[in-house]
Chain A
Amino acid sequence: DIQMTQSPSSLSASVGDRVTITCRSSQSIISYLNWYQQKPGKAPKLLIYAASNLQSGVPSRFSGSGSGTDFTLTISSLQPEDLATYYCEQSYSTPWTFGQGTKVEIK
């Protein structure tokens, strides 16, 4: 299985801050990398697919980049509603695998 490692595991930032979450895969996954947002008690929501493509309806303050083994999710200006846990997922080969999650808190 391809292992996905996210960092940090948690962060606290102020409204308006730029937030960056990184995800590293144990082997190259080209650009088969997705990002999900999961708010407390809710199902995950797709934010970014294929590393850098913004899912329809997702605010433009979210962006993704990277290829190969190293990927980044950026929130350009953190909003109160961005309180959530964020997961990366590789869909290069089955079993698709998720990172352990990054919990984002608002200061």
Chain B
Amino acid sequence: QITLKESGPTLVKPTQTLTLTCTFSGFSLSTSGVGVGWIRQPPGKALEWLALIYWDDDKRYSPSLKSRLTITKDTSKNQVVLTMTNMDPVDTATYYCARMLAGSTSQDYWGQGTLVTVSS
């Protein structure tokens, strides 16, 4: 059974750095063709793709957020961590992590999401 779960703070202040952890089970991020990505969704708005890390440590970022994002993996812990610097109220959103398979280039399993509010 494949599961993913996001964890991290629910409230951050403007200018702070957000650190989110995706803990997964049922697959390995050392398996060829596997990746884990992050997607966010502001309240009432559409989905926005943020970043992706592949099994071989190749990393991809949204160009509009690249300067603020870092994605890393800890294969032994089955975790992927996303950090976002200089948080702003417009970054208030539900943040999802999801598994990606290179063969289908789609996110086939998603976490439940975690709502992060940016407010002073």
The answer to whether A94 and B60 have CB atoms under 8 Å apart is: yes
Residues of A within 8 A of B48 (CB): 98
* Residues A46 and B47 in contact in the complex (CB < 8 Å), given A94-B60, A95-B61: no
The answer to whether B107 and A100 have CB atoms under 8 Å apart is: no
Residues of B in contact, count (CB < 8 Å): 22
Other A-B pairs beyond A43-B112, A44-B96, A55-B106, 16, CB < 8 Å: A1-B64, A36-B107, A44-B47, A49-B108, A55-B108, A87-B46, A89-B47, A89-B106, A91-B105, A91-B106, A94-B60, A95-B60, A96-B49, A96-B52, A98-B49, A100-B46
The answer to whether A46 and B63 have CB atoms under 8 Å apart is: no
Q: Could you tell me the distance in whole angstroms from the C-beta of B106 to the nearest C-beta in chain A?
A: 4
Binding site for B on A (CB under 8 A): 1, 32, 34, 36, 38, 43-46, 49-50, 53, 55, 87, 89, 91, 94-101
Per the bound structure, the CA–CA distance linking A96 and B107 in Å amounts to: 11
